[in-house]
Amino acid sequence: MENLEKRHSILKLGSNKADILSAINQHAPISRTRLAELFDLSFTAVTHIVNEFIEIGVIKEVGDGHDLKPRGRRASFLQLNEDYGYIIGLEVTDVRVKSALADFAGNIKAVKRIIFENHSKDYLISTIIESIESLVEENNISWERVKGIGIGMHGLVDYENGISLTFPSSEEWANVPLKSIIEERFNIPAKLDARLYVATLAELIYGEGRYNPDFVYFNSGPGNGFNIGLVFSGQILRGKDGFAGQFGHLVLDPKGPRCFCGSRGCLVTLASPLAIEKKAIEAINEGINTSLTSIYKEKGTILFKDIADSALKGDKLSVNLIEEAGRYLGLGFSYVINLFAPPLVVLAGTLNSAGSMLLDTIKREIALHSVPQVYQGIEIKFSSLEEDVAARGAVVLIIREHLKKIAEAS
Amino acid sequence: MENLEKRHSILKLGSNKADILSAINQHAPISRTRLAELFDLSFTAVTHIVNEFIEIGVIKEVGDGHDLKPRGRRASFLQLNEDYGYIIGLEVTDVRVKSALADFAGNIKAVKRIIFENHSKDYLISTIIESIESLVEENNISWERVKGIGIGMHGLVDYENGISLTFPSSEEWANVPLKSIIEERFNIPAKLDARLYVATLAELIYGEGRYNPDFVYFNSGPGNGFNIGLVFSGQILRGKDGFAGQFGHLVLDPKGPRCFCGSRGCLVTLASPLAIEKKAIEAINEGINTSLTSIYKEKGTILFKDIADSALKGDKLSVNLIEEAGRYLGLGFSYVINLFAPPLVVLAGTLNSAGSMLLDTIKREIALHSVPQVYQGIEIKFSSLEEDVAARGAVVLIIREHLKKIAEAS
């Protein structure tokens, strides 16, 4: 049902027509009346525009399941047409590739995960290709029905040219033209962008961004992804070359551990899931008394989830590790808050499994290090979106490409 | 002369008509042809709109002094009409108030400075009033010709209600309704905003912002003003309650000196002109050998300018103080650059007198602490605007209020 009290935020696509399609994507189901209000157009003008898109088959009319018009006829709302085609969205982190199959309305139909066994360039590329291929074949989808492949990529990305510039844990990976590789392999249009960008996109279209034009989005991985998306007036602030949001590389301890970026003591080396797992294993090897030891002996490794679970059960080492990470994160967020004063900070990703223990530490530390009047009233909360958010954002990347082209052609 | 190669950035005012007036303010002298291009309107439509404004007298036609049309007739360009009225702009810092008298095109006609002798609330208010009164009377301006009074205020400001929330060095100053105080005293519309906001506004309208839609603006005082303005897509990012840009309160040393904001080790306590002056005086009192000692004995105080001058002459203490400040600033800017990736960082204010000694240290430190690919190609430069930039920005605040109202009424 339409939320009529809240202010609708719209992620722009360029022209008025494209923005209307974008609003339908972001606020479905949405009525013509509401669209007319949002775009300061007459009901007739909106009807004229959307009818054209209904004819093409890119959007469709639905009842929203709640609203009834006075005479009992179902109110007519608009949404993207699921049947317009399939989209594939990939999230590539430094630990795995996740591929998602979605309909054109962005509903996820199937998800597949492949853990990376090594970080050689050839292996990574072939595994990414395999994740697409097997997803389509296992779900008996005709390749002709796949409209595009979106990729949210770990590391720095040249999104304009579809080039993956870096993959921090792979030394031989540099300037890989992943977009062309995928397009040539599958003969389907592909689009590459940074993992954090597509995750922010998902939060904008399906999450807090629907009604919050200004917020900061943090995604803590898995792996070494540790950046933020900055949303200002409903649009994503990309910065020079799309490199804005390197939260993980704020140097919080100039004498700290060497980071893969070349600096020392970056936040990602101090508080990322991987950094915390590493510290836990070091402590176990030093013989510190912790319930993690038995897990480590059994599995041969420790995941952040294990540490979060143990912390909740009172394991002292685990609590210390999570609180230490929370203190570093809180200092980092105090910078973000002092500089941007976002009304809302949304936390997503692996670290969320530590729950309120982490959140409370972060909030306490922000309060210590930010200007009180600035922090006052700023909401810090966990994202309510499901875990495969970045793959879903990669789907949206493709949906929006299509909406833009359709609007241009109309 | 119009710069036709560069992309014109436009600070929006709301409606299309208001934006055209804003573009004339920001890019004067500007031709109708260029306006038509910028707003995607026909030449006729632009002519229709601007003719109305010429009739009202808010803009006027000028030759730009360079361009001649083929047959020798002077090309006709548009600018704000200087004679439309006078504007007063104030910059209030914690060391002084500067008042500027300007014509409606924003040209500064006279400037007056009054150093604050103390920080009692009554004294500050009466001195601010005096700075307006004497400026108008000394310049023989009729009060009827003054269109408005803009104030760029030190501390946190509730710009929507015209309330000065804090004045850090004055303990009795809290929630002072400065806008109403000025309006009641002079019976002239006033507008209050943060000093850093109006300084950023001046850089946007008259400086780098004319052709750079994305940049970060830093103004280092005088006094304890030490914040940044964030400009994204040609608009100023204000944040919750307009509090964005608290660069001076990034906590760089959690065990450092207590700051007036309540935290410890804020950048402003480590690298502001006042902080550096304080460190110099401490060193002199400790008997450290420095050429500053004689200046201190003679004047009873040390200004940052003295330290900068001594550093240029090779005084070791002065060099150390400036390089230390540069290192802190560089670390702070590495955060801004990693988070925001602005293509351009513009430095203004008191610290600029230290010149390349400071700039080189800042750049070196940014390179050490930011992601290399992000920092690569980012330009860090001194503002080329004159020193009274914030007062000029306070004038622009009023000009824009008028342009908006004129567009709404038309």
Options 3.30.70.20, 1.10.167.10, 3.30.420.40, 3.60.20.10; CATH of B210-382: 3.30.420.40
| Average pLDDT, rounded, for chain B | 94
> Thinking of the domain A85-200+389-409, which architecture would CATH place it in?
2-Layer Sandwich (3.30)
CB contact under 8 A, B338 and A230: no
**Residue range A262-284: mean pLDDT, rounded:** 96
Report which DSSP code applies to A242.
G
| Peptide bond before residue B372 is cis, with ω within 30 degrees of 0 | no
Q: Parse chain B into domains and list their residue ranges.
A: 16-80, 84-200+389-409, 210-382
For residue B347, name the pLDDT band (cuts at 50, 70, 90).
very high
A335: which chain B residues are within 8 Å (Cβ-Cβ)?
Answer: 250, 335, 339
Do A330 and A218 contact (CB within 8 A), yes or no? no
User: What's the pLDDT at A54?
Assistant: 97
Chain A residue at shortest CA distance from B252: A252
- Of B304 and A221, the structure prediction assigns the larger pLDDT to B304
Tokens of A270: 């101090």
CATH number of A16-80: 1.10.10.10
Tokens of A102: 């979605």
| Residue B137 neighbours by CB distance under 10 Å | 10
CB contact under 8 A, A339 and B342: no
Report which DSSP code applies to A16.
H
Residue in A241, A243, A338 closest to B246 by CB? A338
- Percent of chain A scoring above 70 in pLDDT: 96
CB contact under 8 A, B373 and A241: yes
Token pair 């090594």 is found at A118
Tokens of A207: 């999450």
Task: Look at domain B84-200+389-409 and name its CATH class.
Answer: alpha beta
Residue B16 is which amino acid? N
Query: Which range, of A355-364, B215-224, B301-310, averages the lowest pLDDT?
Result: B215-224
- Percent of chain B scoring above 70 in pLDDT: 96
Inter-chain CB pairs, A–B, below 8 Å: 144
Edge to edge, the sheet with strand A77-80 lists: A30-31, A77-80, A59-62
User: What's the pLDDT at A53?
Assistant: 97
Query: Is the pLDDT assigned to residue A237 strictly greater than 90?
Result: yes
Do A197 and A152 contact (CB within 8 A), yes or no? yes
B244: which chain A residues are within 8 Å (Cβ-Cβ)?
Answer: 339-341
Q: Which residues lie closer than 8 Å to B240 by C-beta, 6 or more apart?
A: A214, A341, A342, A343, A374, A377, A378
Chain A residue at shortest CA distance from B266: A369
Helix A304-312 / helix A273-285 crossing angle, nearest 10 deg: 70
What is the tens place of the pLDDT at every residue in A241-268?
A: 999 999 999 999 999 999 999 999 999 9
For residue B5, name the pLDDT band (cuts at 50, 70, 90).
low
For chain A, how many residues are written? Answer: 410
Q: Which of A266, A371, A376 to mutate to test the interface with B (most CBs of B within 10 A)?
A: A371
Do A88 and A75 contact (CB within 8 A), yes or no? no
| Peptide bond before residue B177 is cis, with ω within 30 degrees of 0 | no
**Residue range B159-168: mean pLDDT, rounded:** 96
Residue in B243, B254, B338 closest to A341 by CB? B243
Name the 3-class secondary structure at A229: strand
Name the 3-class secondary structure at B168: coil
- How many separate helices (H) and strands (E) can be counted in chain A? 14, 16
Q: Which residues lie closer than 8 Å to A187 by C-beta, 6 or more apart?
A: none
For residue A5, name the pLDDT band (cuts at 50, 70, 90).
low
CA distance B357 to B399: 37
**Residue range B363-367: mean pLDDT, rounded:** 98
Query: Is the pLDDT assigned to residue B68 strictly greater than 90?
Result: no
Name the 3-class secondary structure at A331: helix
For residue B1, name the pLDDT band (cuts at 50, 70, 90).
very low
For residue A4, name the pLDDT band (cuts at 50, 70, 90).
low
Do A93 and A152 contact (CB within 8 A), yes or no? no
Q: Which residues lie closer than 8 Å to A331 by C-beta, 6 or more apart?
A: A252, A365, A369, B251, B254
User: What's the pLDDT at A81?
Assistant: 98
Residue in A214, A254, A338 closest to B249 by CB? A338
What is the tens place of the pLDDT at every residue in B271-304?
A: 999 999 999 999 999 999 999 999 999 999 999 9
To the nearest whole angstrom, how far is the Cα of B340 from the nearest Cα of chain A?
A: 5
User: What's the pLDDT at A71?
Assistant: 55
CB contact under 8 A, A246 and B374: yes
Residue in A243, A335, A342 closest to B335 by CB? A335
Domains B84-200+389-409 and B210-382 share a fold: yes
A371: which chain B residues are within 8 Å (Cβ-Cβ)?
Answer: 156, 243, 246, 249, 261-263
What is the tens place of the pLDDT at every residue in A81-106?
A: 999 999 999 999 999 999 999 999 99
To the nearest whole angstrom, how far is the Cα of B389 from the nearest Cα of chain A?
A: 22
**Residue range B51-69: mean pLDDT, rounded:** 82
What is the tens place of the pLDDT at every residue in B192-216?
A: 999 999 999 999 999 999 999 999 9
Query: Is the pLDDT assigned to residue A6 strictly greater than 90?
Result: no
**Residue range B107-130: mean pLDDT, rounded:** 97
**Residue range A126-151: mean pLDDT, rounded:** 97
For residue B72, name the pLDDT band (cuts at 50, 70, 90).
low
Q: Which residues pair with A4 in a beta bridge?
A: none
**Residue range B233-246: mean pLDDT, rounded:** 96
Residue in B156, B243, B378 closest to A240 by CB? B378
| Peptide bond before residue A70 is cis, with ω within 30 degrees of 0 | no
CA distance A204 to A211: 9
What is the tens place of the pLDDT at every residue in A109-133?
A: 999 999 999 999 999 999 999 999 9
CA distance A236 to A11: 8
Query: Is the pLDDT assigned to residue B3 strictly greater than 80?
Result: no
Cα angle, residue B102 at apex, residues B98 and B103 outer, rounded to 5°: 175
CA distances from B193 to B82, B158, B390, B396 (A): 24, 7, 11, 12
- Percent of chain A scoring above 90 in pLDDT: 91
